[in-house]
Chains A and B, each alone.
Chain A
Amino acid sequence: MTQINSKIPQGPLAQKWSNYKASQKLVNPANKRRLDIIVVGTGLAGASAAASLGELGFNVLNFCIQDSPRRAHSIAAQGGINAAKNYPNDGDSVFRLFYDTIKGGDYRAREANVYRLAEVSNSIIDQCVAQGVPFAREYGGLLDNRSFGGAQVSRTFYAKGQTGQQLLLGAYSALSRQISKGSVKLHTRYEMMDVVVIDGKARGIIARNLRTGRLERFFAHAVVIATGGYGNTFFLSTNAMGSNGSAAMQCFRKGAYFANPCYAQIHPTCIPVHGEFQSKLTLMSESLRNDGRIWVPKKKEDAEAIRAGKMKPTQIPEDERDYYLERRYPAFGNLVPRDVASRAAKERCDAGYGVGATGLAVYLDFSEVINRLGRDVVEARYGNLFQMYYKIVDEDPYTTPMMIYPAIHYTMGGIWVDYECMTSIEGLFAIGEANFSDHGANRLGASALMQGLADGYFVLPYTIQNYLADEIRTPRMSTELPEFAETEGAVQSRIQKIMAIKGNRSVDSIHKQLGLIMWDFVGMSRTKESLQKALDAIIQVKHEFWTNVFIPGESEDLNVELEKALRVSDFIEIGELMARDALHREESCGGHFRLEYQTGDGEALRDDENFSYVACWKYEGDGKEPSLLKEPLIYESVHMQQRNYK
């Protein structure tokens, strides 16, 4: 049986990263110039990696599907970024950030990776400030912090409600500087179609020029995937319309393991679904839970009256409101982690206490903080979020509570990587949300930005050298090699196969069908039966796609429907993989909640004896079941226990 080698360095936890850096191989400046690196994606991970590798002197090729690197969906992250600076003197430390992240991930993340993440977190803040990122400040001129879910300290740095935007623009500016120097060559409106593997090593990609529709070949000594998560498998999610999991699936089909696909994060505070034509869901930042209080009516009659439009939330007196998070989790209150908050909302709505026209919503109420601190303070903290809510819902959250409901937001699972961020294919790396490594079964708020930038600025630029040091004798290869031609040929035939179907269904309609199956059967709570049902239903969707989809226009032209079709064909495969993984994991942990496995009071019940491992799925061929490999999770510094936020 294949052994999983995670390459975790020896030594005590706190010294592993220093030891690694002290003994790793490096590439000298003259050789760096002769080595090419492809970075796919320009979000926080991709842009920071491409910029940093370019600064080091490597020859970088950077790709994105949008018209500019600045459009990547990291831009939409609102609330903030964590770091263990302990500026507020409230007891934070590298160990505490590490511990909170491991616990928040429900003891399903790799200790060594998470410790390294916490360790480099402080450098990220220093780097961003040096780039001119306008973080929020106190009147004394120093940086301000706020709290996020799953932590009892204030360690979140923020720039209004636009932290992701500002961090991405910082990375984008560093990237732009390297582009102007010629060390990074940028390809916008290009989409990766496959990875080219030569003698077992990643040696380039086939990409489709989205403006012309033509396939092009690119060689590199190493390939880095930074293409984000696969939340759009659910059709409706907080991800951007173009966010997709296709690069991950291309790597999977070439032999890279896909780890923990069933760990998907459902964010508790999103604007509820309002109609069939809806194209995406909008997040309301977790930072709102610093001041907003979540409630539903205590009496079912009141909830029913609200749903029927006969009553307003402001008419319900204080003692008739059920602040269910404060009631169930007094220690963390409204700031419990996302998975806990989402399940609690679903529990109340399923029990008949939900509000809004559909009954699938709960209130997020700011009246208490507005009375206590005044409207101006609330406006300064959350003004842009309140405005966004008003523009979408047409209700003023200063005078009536917001309505929120959970939605798919982030995927903790992803391409399996070792400690060096290298996948199971040599020379193929994965960073940011695209890999699986740091968040276990649930990610804490404000930690995605931290991980993306940690990987791109401070981890990959080191670890990739340990690989490339052995490649200095490898000359640039011709893209006329048979492996490039074969890979391009396979992509071309997949495209032609889709174009030739000429059925009657639009891509979106099939994607929506898949999304509903995922939400109903592979969503917030899963059972053996629901997952088996999902697997059967996904097979039908797959059949429908490959026999009845219709793509107008030509393949060698700008063709948005074809782009979507290629992505949806992969979402179908990911959906299947998610259901299969969720079915095999007979326990509840973090974002993966199996109704059969819960404690007496409805909390997730882990089975550490049997499931304390990373599930790595290996592709075995088209139409065949993937095989399962296990990377055991060994905890040396943290004692595993049931998560308790009470």
Chain B
Amino acid sequence: MEKTIHITLKIWRQKGPQAKGAFETYQLNDISTDSSFLEMLDILNEKLISEKKETIVFDHDCREGICGMCSLYINGHPHGPDEDVTTCQLHMRKFKDGETIIVEPWRSRGFPVIKDLMVDRSAFDKIIQAGGFVSVTTGGVPDANAIPISKEKADEAMDAASCIGCGACVAACKNGSAMLFVAAKVSQLALLPQGKIEASRRAKAMVTKMDELGFGNCTNTGACESECPKNVSISHIARLNREFLKAKLKD
């Protein structure tokens, strides 16, 4: 049967990028433990509308853990206390009756706040634009089976490619580093013969862009890996470092 809980929320509210933000406290009663965290925020927003107040702004879209749009720093964890999920897949059954839940935006120099819990992650797009691709144009490519790729390599590339670009790694990192995000793309493409040709050039271009955009350095704390909703492994950072070093040696 349906179980419900009462909760207290302390949510970061900030009118705009330049405005000074602050926590506001909200009380919500009889929240079904079967509802998702974002559905709970929908209920809160519905309540705010009934009081003719402005709703809490947060990013979300697919609500099935794949688009990478949702964010939220919940009780000190990116995507909240559950393992291997994004905020949209976090359910209220993970919280206790009477609990106080603190909700903040991603906090990082690379991701400025736009409004309330919504942040600007366009820096990630800029890093991909710097080199996160294979330089092929449409048409004129060989048959898909022309180059065999070992299953192990293909599977490892797939694991790296499962990054959803949400930014939890940056939010989790005390240095605000985007190394896991960059490494996932560099590693995926370096593992495949199609992407290997440009691997070093790509690594250098993406790392340079990351530095330029104000992300911090990697000091191997591993926080990114443990908070990544898609379990992207920090072993990819080692591969990125190898490719980066190769590029540097060539210079």
Write the residues of chain A forming the contact surface with B, with a CB cutoff of 8 angstroms.
48, 51-52, 55, 66-73, 75-76, 85, 87, 123, 125-132, 134-143, 159-160, 162, 165-166, 169, 172-174, 176-177, 179-180, 186, 188, 211, 240-242, 274-275, 277-280, 282-283, 387-388, 391-392, 394, 457-458, 461, 504, 506, 508-509, 550, 552-553, 558, 560-561
Give 5 CB contacts A-B under 8 Å: A48-B138, A162-B162, A283-B64, A391-B84, A392-B36
Within residues 85 to 103 of chain B, which ones have a CB less than 8 A from any CB in chain A?
A: 85, 89, 91, 93
Contact B49 A141 (CB under 8 A): no
Q: A553–B114 Cα gap in the complex (Å)?
A: 16
Contact A140 B133 (CB under 8 A): no
Complex: chain B residue closest to A55, CB-CB:
B137
Q: A41–B65 Cα gap in the complex (Å)?
A: 21
Contact B35 A135 (CB under 8 A): no
Residue from B42, B52, B143 in contact with A550 in the complex, judged by beta carbons closer than 8 Å: B52
Confirm or deny: B125 has a beta carbon within 8 angstroms of a beta carbon on chain A. Answer: yes
Main secondary structure of the interface of B (DSSP, over half): loop
Complex: chain A residue closest to B189, CB-CB:
A132
Contact A129 B194 (CB under 8 A): yes
Q: A522–B136 Cα gap in the complex (Å)?
A: 45
Contact of A277 with B35 at beta-carbon distance under 8 Å, contacts A126-B144, A240-B67 already known: yes
Contact A388 B64 (CB under 8 A): yes
Q: A70–B66 Cα gap in the complex (Å)?
A: 10
Number of interface residues of B (CB under 8 A): 79
Residue from A87, A282, A388 in contact with B145 in the complex, judged by beta carbons closer than 8 Å: A87
Contact B132 A173 (CB under 8 A): yes
Contact A506 B57 (CB under 8 A): no
Contact of A550 with B49 at beta-carbon distance under 8 Å, contacts A134-B161, A137-B149, A558-B114 already known: yes
Contact B144 A73 (CB under 8 A): no
List of B residues within 8 angstroms of A131 by Cβ:
133-134, 136, 194
Q: Smallest distance from the beta carbon of B38 to chain A beta carbons, Å?
A: 7
Q: Which of B36, B66, B84 has the most C-beta atoms of chain A within 10 angstroms of its own C-beta?
A: B66
Confirm or deny: B212 has a beta carbon within 8 angstroms of a beta carbon on chain A. Answer: no
List of A residues within 8 angstroms of B59 by Cβ:
67
Complex: chain A residue closest to B84, CB-CB:
A387
Contact A176 B32 (CB under 8 A): no
Residue from A55, A126, A172 in contact with B143 in the complex, judged by beta carbons closer than 8 Å: A126
List of A residues within 8 angstroms of B108 by Cβ:
none
Confirm or deny: B124 has a beta carbon within 8 angstroms of a beta carbon on chain A. Answer: yes
List of B residues within 8 angstroms of A75 by Cβ:
62, 66-68
Residue from A241, A274, A504 in contact with B61 in the complex, judged by beta carbons closer than 8 Å: A241
List of B residues within 8 angstroms of A85 by Cβ:
144-145
Contact of A141 with B134 at beta-carbon distance under 8 Å, contacts A68-B121, A73-B67, A552-B49 already known: no
List of B residues within 8 angstroms of A127 by Cβ:
136, 138-139, 141
Q: Smallest distance from the beta carbon of A119 to chain B beta carbons, Å?
A: 14
Contact A176 B148 (CB under 8 A): no
Contact of A134 with B144 at beta-carbon distance under 8 Å, contacts A68-B121, A71-B67 already known: no
Contact B68 A241 (CB under 8 A): no
List of B residues within 8 angstroms of A138 by Cβ:
151
Q: A85–B52 Cα gap in the complex (Å)?
A: 58
List of B residues within 8 angstroms of A143 by Cβ:
144-145
Q: Smallest distance from the beta carbon of B242 to chain A beta carbons, Å?
A: 18
Complex: chain A residue closest to B68, CB-CB:
A71
Contact of A126 with B142 at beta-carbon distance under 8 Å, contacts A67-B59, A160-B158 already known: yes
List of B residues within 8 angstroms of A282 by Cβ:
63-64
List of A residues within 8 angstroms of B161 by Cβ:
134, 159, 166, 169
List of B residues within 8 angstroms of A125 by Cβ:
144
List of A residues within 8 angstroms of B233 by Cβ:
none
Contact A173 B133 (CB under 8 A): yes
Residue from B120, B122, B141 in contact with A126 in the complex, judged by beta carbons closer than 8 Å: B141
Complex: chain A residue closest to B118, CB-CB:
A558
B126-168: contact bitstring with A at CB < 8 Å (1 yes, 0 no)?
0011101111111101111101111100110110011011000
Q: A284–B149 Cα gap in the complex (Å)?
A: 29
Confirm or deny: B175 has a beta carbon within 8 angstroms of a beta carbon on chain A. Answer: no
List of A residues within 8 angstroms of B65 by Cβ:
388, 391
List of A residues within 8 angstroms of B69 by Cβ:
66-67, 71
Residue from A66, A70, A136, A240 in contact with B154 in the complex, judged by beta carbons closer than 8 Å: A136
Write the residues of chain B forming the contact surface with A, with a CB cutoff of 8 angstroms.
2, 16, 32, 34-36, 38-39, 42-43, 45-46, 48-50, 52-55, 57, 59-69, 82, 84-85, 89, 91, 93, 114-115, 118, 120-122, 124-125, 128-130, 132-139, 141-145, 147-151, 154-155, 157-158, 161-162, 164-165, 188-189, 192, 194-195
List of A residues within 8 angstroms of B132 by Cβ:
173, 176
Total CB contacts across the A-B interface at under 8 A: 218
Contact A134 B188 (CB under 8 A): yes
Contact of A176 with B125 at beta-carbon distance under 8 Å, contacts A75-B67, A132-B189, A134-B161 already known: yes
Q: Smallest distance from the beta carbon of B74 to chain A beta carbons, Å?
A: 15
Q: Smallest distance from the beta carbon of A403 to chain B beta carbons, Å?
A: 13
Contact B148 A140 (CB under 8 A): yes
List of B residues within 8 angstroms of A48 by Cβ:
138
Complex: chain B residue closest to A457, CB-CB:
B138
List of A residues within 8 angstroms of B120 by Cβ:
67
Contact A134 B42 (CB under 8 A): no
List of B residues within 8 angstroms of A457 by Cβ:
138-139
Contact B142 A137 (CB under 8 A): no
Q: A634–B50 Cα gap in the complex (Å)?
A: 54
Q: A70–B93 Cα gap in the complex (Å)?
A: 30
List of A residues within 8 angstroms of B53 by Cβ:
552
Q: A457–B118 Cα gap in the complex (Å)?
A: 33
Contact B67 A552 (CB under 8 A): no
Contact B143 A51 (CB under 8 A): no
List of A residues within 8 angstroms of B143 by Cβ:
126
Q: Which of B61, B68, B188 has the most C-beta atoms of chain A within 10 angstroms of its own C-beta?
A: B61
Contact of A132 with B188 at beta-carbon distance under 8 Å, contacts A68-B121, A279-B38 already known: yes
Contact B91 A394 (CB under 8 A): yes
Contact B61 A173 (CB under 8 A): no
Contact A130 B61 (CB under 8 A): no
List of A residues within 8 angstroms of B129 by Cβ:
176-177, 179-180
Q: A135–B147 Cα gap in the complex (Å)?
A: 13
Contact B192 A73 (CB under 8 A): no
Complex: chain A residue closest to B193, CB-CB:
A132
List of A residues within 8 angstroms of B124 by Cβ:
68
Q: Smallest distance from the beta carbon of B123 to chain A beta carbons, Å?
A: 10
Going nearest first, the 10 A-B pairs with the smallest beta carbon separation are A141-B148, A173-B133, A130-B141, A134-B158, A134-B157, A129-B144, A180-B129, A52-B138, A506-B49, A240-B61
